[in-house]
Amino acid sequence: MRQIHFSAWLLVGLSAILQAIIFPLPGVYVLSWFALAPLIVALLRARSTGELEVAGSVRLSPATPGQGFLLGYACGILWYAGTCYWIYDTMRQFGGLSTPEALLALFLFSCYLGLYHGFFGLLVSLLAGSARDYRRPLVMAPFLWVAVELARTRITGFPWNLLGIAQVDNVALCRIASATGVYGISFEIVLVNVALAAAFLVPREKRFPLLAAALAAAAVLQAGRLVEAPPAKADHAALLVQQNIPVSFDWTRPGSLQQTMNELTELTVKSAAESSAAKIDLIVWPESPAPFFTNDPRFRDTMSELARDTKTWNVVGAIGTSSSAAVGGQTSPLYNSAALISPSGEWTARYDKIHLVPFGEYLPFPSVFSFAGGLTKAVGEFQRGTSRRPLDAGDARLGVFICYESIFPDEVRQFADQGAQVFVNISNDGWYGDSGAYAQHLNQTRMRAIENNRWLLSATDTGVTASIDPWGRVVAQIPRKQRAALVAPYALTSVTTFYARHGDWFAYGCAIISLGALLARFTLPGKPLQKSQKG
């Protein structure tokens, strides 16, 4: 078997770098139209045939399936390490790992999730075959990519930074997400990348028209960022409290918990009273590193009094326990929860987080990953919730989800499908430190507003705390790492989008088409894009 040509490795490295920088930070979104093209070219021009092109250069052929997997896998490892680099710092600071152990954790994480890029490379190579048949893999690449993204979401459960998220600020293009979810945007991006890659796979005399068409398509689609969406009307106002409590705060100091509750309560009451906007009808406290337990009488009394003083519905992040358990939850299962408190001070409902963070909220395969248990101990060994039913807050139905649940398109849309009129995401992004992860998380949260045509209230411990309209625009926010309260405009919406009703139909369609193409590859003869030319 001929070895992979060195140029293919260079293209793989270039693609990994481009894929990393299209997400924040630095977030050079325009490069998303070109980020995958080098990888596609590398897969289809990976091996030297020993022949020469007309111009005297070495003729290159598609990678074998094994080589395709290896090229894609290398790209995936580099991309995950470049875009999820914050895992290293999180595991080192809060997971109790040494520097070498934290680096190893990041490397193993990247090796695991990089498998999906490897599968993409494998599938493209299978469709290409040993001949220079470029048409089939090029036509199918967008379908294959979306199918792999769906697998990453459903199988691994970590759809962080799906490709379409890079265009979250593209108002015109993002309208398709209300029908297809973010996967439709990923499809469009890969389609343009395929057109660009094709320009470097055809004879040189045909290259300019294809290259011009690809660049024109990228320019037209990118121009959607210049489109101004109409103002989104808001007739309600919420107060989002950004607590700014450090993850490493020492709660063993006498009186620290009560002092914190008093300070946050004072801030909340004062901010609600001073609001010059419409009457505050909802107050939200975020997911917090504070040991707030739903069965702690001090905490319950404080929050009930706050609700009565402000005459407002309250959503508060807390550690959920059964009412009969001892304070601290020692005799009861623990949940990462959001409690709903009525204006009369009654605790009326609770959402328990369903999709927990591995190594952060539970430890998968404890016997294997015991070395990474420090982070879990710092947060808690939580149990999974069971219901995504919206919480009824008077005349409003709240779709409440917690932290990184916002990165799962199909899970969030279920709240809208069950009647949620506004989304509320409470989060503690303090675990990410000052890395770009908080901005990556915000963009993914914004996409959920677009897909479901809902206002979304994002209340975080350290920021970004924001009000997001149904176009995905941040219409109000407060600076990170400040203790403050945001008066957040929003509106209630009962219209359900096609995506909210039908979920990942588009992604599953791409997976079925991909499977059909793979079956046809081995049952129907293919024709190469061009005839072999010898120099």
Asked whether residue 499 is domain-assigned, the answer is no
Lowest mean per-residue pLDDT among 287-296, 346-355, 491-500, 523-532: 523-532
Tokens 């580099």 map to which residue? 78
Give yes or no: residues 70 and 137 share one domain. yes
State yes or no: pLDDT of 533 exceeds 50.
Answer: no
Give how far Cα 344 sits from Cα of 267, 304, 313, 392, Å.
Answer: 20, 8, 9, 14
Nearest to 427 by CA among 526, 336, 342: 336
Domain residue limits at 198: 6-228+505-521
pLDDT computed for residue 239 by the predictor: 98
Give yes or no: residues 152 and 184 share one domain. yes
pLDDT computed for residue 362 by the predictor: 74
pLDDT computed for residue 59 by the predictor: 72
pLDDT digits (tens, 9 = 90+) for 269-292: 999 999 876 789 999 999 999 999
Nearest to 47 by CA among 80, 71, 74, 75: 71
How far apart are alpha carbons 351 and 418 in whole angstroms? 14
Mean pLDDT of 341-353: 98
Asked whether residue 375 is domain-assigned, the answer is yes
- Per the DSSP assignment, residues forming a β-bridge with 398 are 391, 422
How far apart are alpha carbons 179 and 362 in whole angstroms? 34
Q: Which residues of 191-216 are buried (b: 16+ CB within 10 A; e: fewer)?
A: bbbbbbbbbbbeeeeeeeebbeebbe
**If pLDDT is split at 50, 70 and 90, which confidence band does 491 have?**
very high
Mean pLDDT of 99-106: 95
- The total domain count for the chain is 2
Tokens 């176009």 map to which residue? 471
Active centre residues (catalytic): 287, 353, 403
State yes or no: pLDDT of 523 exceeds 90.
Answer: no
pLDDT computed for residue 55 by the predictor: 46
Segment of 85-94, 159-168, 224-233, 377-386 carrying the highest mean pLDDT: 159-168
Nearest to 166 by CA among 182, 152, 142: 182
Asked whether residue 531 is domain-assigned, the answer is no
Strand, coil or helix: 70: helix
State yes or no: pLDDT of 323 exceeds 70.
Answer: no
How far apart are alpha carbons 466 and 472 in whole angstroms? 11
Asked whether residue 496 is domain-assigned, the answer is no
pLDDT computed for residue 531 by the predictor: 44
Give yes or no: residues 56 and 163 share one domain. yes
**If pLDDT is split at 50, 70 and 90, which confidence band does 322 have?**
confident
Give yes or no: residues 220 and 243 share one domain. no
**If pLDDT is split at 50, 70 and 90, which confidence band does 381 have?**
confident
Asked whether residue 426 is domain-assigned, the answer is yes
Mean pLDDT of 219-232: 94
Strand, coil or helix: 485: strand
428 phi and psi, to 5 degrees?
-125, 90
pLDDT computed for residue 535 by the predictor: 33
Give yes or no: residues 61 and 175 share one domain. yes
State yes or no: pLDDT of 52 exceeds 60.
Answer: no
The whole-angstrom distance between residue 7's C-alpha and the CA centroid of its chain comes to 32
Give yes or no: residues 214 and 293 share one domain. no
pLDDT computed for residue 56 by the predictor: 43
- Supply the mean pLDDT for the chain: 91
Residue 480 belongs to domain with CATH number: 3.60.110.10
251 class by beta-carbon count within 10 Å (0-12 exposed, 13-18 middle, 19+ buried): exposed
Q: Which secondary-structure segment (H or E) carries 228?
A: none
State yes or no: pLDDT of 249 exceeds 70.
Answer: yes
State yes or no: pLDDT of 386 exceeds 60.
Answer: yes
How far apart are alpha carbons 124 and 136 in whole angstroms? 9
Asked whether residue 127 is domain-assigned, the answer is yes
H-type alpha helices, 341-383? 373-379
Strand, coil or helix: 158: coil
Give yes or no: residues 43 and 146 share one domain. yes
Give yes or no: residues 449 and 352 share one domain. yes
